[in-house]
Amino acid sequence: MVEAQQTMPGQSRAHRMRALPIALSACLVISLMAAGFALKREHDKLSAQERIAVAHRLALHAAELRDDDPVRARNLGLAAVNIHSDDRTRAGLIDTLVMWRRTDLYALEVGGVQGVALSGDGRIALTGDSDGVGVWDLKTWLDPNVALTDKSDRLAVLKGHQEDVGALALSFDGRTAMTGSDDGTTMLWDLADPARPARLATLRGAAKGEYANGVQAMALTRDSRRAVVADFDGNMIVWDLAKRSHPVRLSVTKAHDSYIRDVILSADGRTAVTSGEDKTVTVWDMTDPVRPVKLADLELPGNFAESTKMSADGRTIVVANPDRADVWRLDDRTRPIHTAMLELPPVDMYDVALTPDGKTVLMAGGSGTGFLWDLSQPSLPARLAAMKGYTTEVNSVALSADGRVALMASPDRGVSLWSLDGLADIVADPGGAICDLSPGSEISRADWVRFAGDADWSDYGPDNVDSLLLCFIRP
């Protein structure tokens, strides 16, 4: 039985001969499948690379057209995002959509605007120019249903200084204003009725030193009961404004060896920060305003601080200089901690605005563009938008408390007003923000050929149409 069950040598050889073609066929199939997968991967890779290149090309053209043809810029930007969404295409479309929210409050041929200030609710604004300090009610300007020709003009002009006004401050409630002049005087104003401002008092500066003691910067506490004025001689002057018609000077402190570029106060007035031309930024304990106490100096890398701003609780500081912008924390006021550096283009930043909660910062300078950042996580700042304003430069910016209203002033032009309501939705999904409102947005075949180069139209939509619906581009 055992011998009968054994396979004869000839039979084994025949079996192997029959199995060999099957094995070869299987190997061939596997090889072909592997080659097919490799070809598909290579095709998909090339296709993905082409989509990225097309998207970036469209985003670049959108940026170039943003000033002169905003509708086409928006459509090209939307096409770029829907073809390939990445940081570059999304940022480009966000910037285009934000620019649509700009209104030129007014323009000047000569002189320009030297400074702006904004109330906490974003309604009352101050603008300083060669004609004086204008008082504005922005209610009609922020209402999209009011025609441009029906927007209200400035309500009043604050005058009285003998020389140019170099510094402005406006209380959180918009009812108190301060104006500081190159002649060293500071004027206190009642804006309870902004159309009929009343001058309350004139605050005299410190005794003149080696240089003129022109007012460089000023700040108010949240309740407007205390003010700090900084001058060209490096003095920090503290005023008690409890009786606004009779301010009392509490102290004069030599804060810096050179002139002070900026001074800021916490909402409760217990912390002040000054920045000087001597490349120092100093933190002060103002608990006793008669005897301010120096707590610490920020170790600044690089150049002097062009502008410094602080959150209402005195815990977050943003410092901008000609080289960079940095975020600091003051949880321990004697030991400031550097938490982040903002990645900005290599242009001077002349001014900074920070919301009271310390979560949104706007800065602008020599490029004429404002840069808006989210500081909700101070160690991980996130870019929100670039606000393209005047093509020259911006020397003063302001933000409302909720970050929904912004002002940018140009020294040789005027003031631009930005309505940033709904910005969070735009940043989260810029393509969806357009498609929700304008699902029929499209690009013509002619524009596709002009801006997308030799990219095949049929890869992104039907070939037998004359326009491509941007909200339905093929993935």
383 in the same domain as 286: yes
Q: Is residue 388 situated within a structural domain?
A: yes
Task: Note whether 393 and 454 are same-domain residues.
Answer: no
Determine, yes or no, domain membership for 28: no
> Within this chain, do residues 468 and 370 fall inside the same structural domain, yes or no?
no
- The DSSP result for 169-196, as a single string, is EE-TTSSEEEEEETTS-EEEEE-SSTTS
Picking from 248, 297, 239, 233, the residue whose alpha carbon sits closest to that of residue 269 is: 239
Residue 4 lies in a domain: no
Domain end (from 400, 419, 438): 419
**Tally of structural domains, the chain:** 2
Same domain, 339 and 445: no
Apex 136 CA angle, 134 and 141, nearest 5: 135
- Does residue 23 lie in a domain region? no
- Report the candidate in 299, 383, 284, 288 with the shortest Cα–Cα distance to residue 338: 299
Q: Does residue 12 fall inside a structural domain?
A: no
Is the residue at 14 inside a domain?
Answer: no
In a domain, 21, yes or no: no
- Whether 126 and 83 map to the same domain: the answer is no
**Contact partners, residue 440, CB within 8 Å, separation at least 6:** 469, 471
pLDDT at 26: 65
pLDDT at 15: 58
- Are residues 136 and 79 part of one domain? no
76 and 125 assigned to the same domain? no
SS3 263: strand
CA 270 to chain centre: 28
Return the SS3 of 57. Answer: helix
Give the residue numbers spanning the domain of 111. Answer: 103-419
Is the domain of 382 the same as that of 468? no
Q: Is 18 inside any structural domain?
A: no
- For residues 312 and 438, membership in a common domain is answered with no
286-334: per-residue pLDDT in tens?
Answer: 999 999 999 999 877 666 677 899 999 999 999 987 778 899 999 999 9
Among candidates 265, 257, 264, which has minimal Cα distance to 233? Answer: 257
Amino acid at residue number 188: L
Write the CATH number for 285.
2.130.10.10
Based on the domain organization, do 155 and 299 belong to the same domain? yes
Encode 61-98 in three state secondary structure.
HHHHHCCCCHHHHHHHHHHHHHHCCCHHHHHHHHHHHH
Ranges of residues in the chain whose predicted pLDDT is under 70: 1-47, 107-111, 207-212, 301-304, 390-391
Q: 265 and 386 in one domain? A: yes
Residues 6+ apart with CB under 8 A from 210: 233
Supply the pLDDT for residue 287. 96
Q: Are 349 and 452 contained in the same domain?
A: no
